[in-house]
Structure 1
């Protein structure tokens, strides 16, 4: 089943919550003119960048263990772990973030910044009510209003509430800074509102942003969003264009699990199962259950039931583990699995209902309606 047909579009919460991810663009000079073709800029090798990132994150944890009241360090750790989940498909990052939130609040109970950081973490797990409560406490402690608003807008965008207010906020921030970390959530919102060409233009502008010390995470992220834009949001879709953008994302960041998944799905839809398998196998080291799920489907299509069953069981195990710990964060992703290969329509409906109750968006309503048909 086509992913967009089932989910009613998949820009989803993850892109809005992407507003919580602050990839540094320090020492950068923006290129003012929008180009139809993006410039080729030399970026750090993706695998080297990942290794450097993980080493830096390990050092940050050691520093925080010695300085548990250092909220600059904890803030950097939050960004680092969001990178792990967003790009590497490492969902154990949520366990570490949950533990970090407890430590930050325990050691900084009178700090407004601590509550903002706890709100960021709860928001990344789709615990929106908890997130809003932490922001309320931060306000009572005279927290930084700009930082509070940044998290608030991400939650509003994720839940499709007060979209005009969010649009104004995103546009003002994007125009003021011209940096990718502000323009990407703005373009994502425009795409969600059906302004495809404008979103495309802003993504391309972000891709042309000039960096003195460029990180491949940023262009990989933008290329992935462009793939989503043309492969799953635009009507009609342009799968060939989407595939080219996913390929560029992977070239920047070979360990980009989500990009590999979406590229594989395009290959599978056109019967190119060998290519799909080849693109997915390097992502098996992640903890994203969709990788083993799609590999199971590939082996089923290749009439290799033994291998298909093995990977299907792995997908079930990973989905169960994630849903036990973070049901709201993975409910929408799991619905399609349980309707299809997971063969549990009632569980799919329960998850779709849970997702809708947490964020009653039009997309969540479509998901619930489509799932009900399979009961």
Structure 2
């Protein structure tokens, strides 16, 4: 992590920079922002990418970087436009197609994503393509096939950086958490944080698995650390829900902070935070109409099964009768 921060600082000082250096700075900021739960880093990366495209409108590197930051904030359609522009400017086809496959999976369009994943795997069945195919099958709920590809990806990895394997283990844990297999999820999240202890998404998801397994004290400890490091309100919201019965005053302060932060983020990045804000506010039914508004937005952006489930719960909170029959009608 110190090396990553040094790389960021070095590239920020190197002005004017080459296109490759500017693209690297943006990728490093996105990586650090994701790892440490720092939305400020991701916003900084987005600002850099905006400037990059303005300064170098005919640079494939600029459009790929801009696409990455847009995708991070769930602006998937806009991101794809920049990937297409990058392709027209000579960007590496295999690399961009892999990125486009991830966009399609994020919105639940698995049928269009699959040929892109399989083409990459057929051309070069190394770590990245194998991990991508694993992620694809995990998104489709094909757990057995996903597990097989995850195993193979780990065998193929030959790098020195901890980030790829920590991320791989995190996604593997997420697969099992979504399936309700909390012990298996905790196993992979634990592997992820042992490899990269600063990896807050893995720490937060491990806390969620621990709560399901009855290890609430450990989960609280993890989340208390996360709240001190991250500017993402998800961790404060999680912790507030765990503390509501044991320390109501701390829980109240955490919840108020999370609510205020979500309001701030929804003004600037509604697509990226609609789902998490809705899930938090749904937990105590504090503002069902607002939750329904956010759940509808989330479903429009990414009509996945998870988004449909959130929308169904939101509809049920507003009008309990026959909510499951109303998801399609209320989605748009």
Aligned equivalent of 1:225: 171
- Cα contact 1:119–1:151 (8 A) shared by 2: no
Q: Is the 8 A contact 1:255 1:282 kept in 2?
A: no
Report the alpha carbon displacement of residue 367 of structure 1 after superposing the two structures with TM.
1.9
Whole-Å separation in 1 of the counterparts to 2:87 and 2:184: 45
1:66 correspondence with 2:9: no
Distance 1:60 1:306 in 2: 44
Q: Unaligned stretches of 5+ in structure 2?
A: 319-332
Give, in whole Å, the separation in 2 of the partners of 1:245 and 1:139.
36
Superposition deviation, residue 152 in structure 1: 2.6
- Asked if 1:354 corresponds to 2:297, the answer is yes
Assess if the C-alpha contact under 8 Å between 2:105 and 2:139 holds in 1.
no
Contact 2:169 2:192 survives alignment (8 Å): yes
Q: How does 1:123-134 map to 2 (within 5 A)?
A: 123-134=71-82
Choose from 137, 151, 159 the match for 2:99.
151
SS in 2 for 1:241: helix
- Please state how far the C-alpha of 1:164 moved relative to its aligned partner: 3.0
Question: Which residue among 35, 58, 70 is the counterpart of 1:87?
Answer: 35
Q: Give the conservation status (yes or no) of the 8 Å contact 2:4–2:32.
A: no
Give CA-to-partner distance per residue, 1:334-358, whole Å, 9 cap, x none.
2110111472222211111111112
1:300 maps to: 244
Greater fraction of residues in helix: 2
Are residues 208 and 112 of structure 1, via their aligned partners in 2, closer, same or farther at CA, if it must alter by over 3 Å?
A: closer
Q: Does 1:52 align with 2:3?
A: yes
Name the residue aligned to 2:65. Answer: 117
Higher relative contact order, chain-length normalized (CA < 8 Å, sep 6+) = 1
Q: Secondary structure at the match of 2:317?
A: coil
**Residues in 1 aligned to 2:132 and 2:41: alpha-carbon distance in whole angstroms:** 22
Correspondence for 2:45: 97
Q: For the structure 1 residues 144 and 171, does the alpha-carbon distance in structure 2 shift closer, same or farther, using more than 3 Å as the test?
A: closer
Once residues 298 and 119 of structure 1 are traced to their aligned partners in structure 2, the CA distance between those partners, rounded to angstroms, is 37
Q: In the aligned structure 2, how far is the partner of 1:143 from the partner of 1:210?
A: 25
Cα displacement (A) at 1:321: 2.2
TM-score (norm 2): 0.88
State the 1:183 CA deviation.
Answer: 2.4
1:150 deviates by: 3.4
Range 170-179 or range 255-264, more displaced = 170-179
Report the TM-score, using the length of structure 1 for normalisation: 0.78
Hey, which bits of structure 1, 4+ residues long, moved more than 4 A?
139-144
2:199 is the alignment partner of 1:256: yes
Q: Which moved more, 1:170-179 or 1:269-278?
A: 170-179
1-side partners of 2:88 and 2:196: how far apart? 41
Contact 1:116 1:147 (8 Å CA) reproduced? no
1:222–1:143 CA distance, 2 compared to 1 (3 A): closer
Aligned residues: 317
Secondary structure, aligned partner of 1:215: coil
1:162-219 deviation line (CA, Å, top 9, x unaligned): x2342122133235434433322221110122211111121122223342x5111122
Q: Cα offset for 1:114?
A: 2.2
Asked if the contact 1:113–1:144 (Cα under 8 Å) also holds between the matched residues in 2, the reply is: no
Partners of 2:284 and 2:207 in 1: CA distance:
17
